[in-house]
Structure 1
């Protein structure tokens, strides 16, 4: 397994994870706003934001899943890294496939 392959895919994985953290942050803030709001319109607006950001988060999950599948298909996803290399991703993230 080449170090370049690992580096490129590590960068892709970090980008996808960063893209995933953004909608999760928005969802957390919107849910907090919903909890503290007595205004039905404000709660409805926050719920809509959560739904939109949930879809955005799912796109990132699908991208990460695809990246992992590419590595497995290429025969590079499950074997131990060569001496001196670091694995670019841990597939034991809760058993989701």
Structure 2
């Protein structure tokens, strides 16, 4: 997929979505429930893939990640954003993909 007509940030978001889909599908196929620990593992794998590709701006990649200001649990509890208004782009994409593939 070509991202030439997009802003650099939009290109990162579009590529991240494409990278997340097969990772989520693999875990869903294994019957894994979406826990906080699994979400963070998927996010790290997806971000690593973007970084390995080498053509996306690292600053924009960091912008889709969770802010260090927020502390998300790293537990085996099921993901629940509750009433949160601040969800990292990568986490929202993983949650959406998991819900869609359910």
Question: What TM bracket, shorter-length normalisation?
Answer: 0.3 to 0.5
- From the two aligned structures, give the one with the greater helix fraction: 1
Structure with larger Rg: 1
TM-score normalised to the size of structure 1?
0.37
TM-score (norm. length: structure 2): 0.36
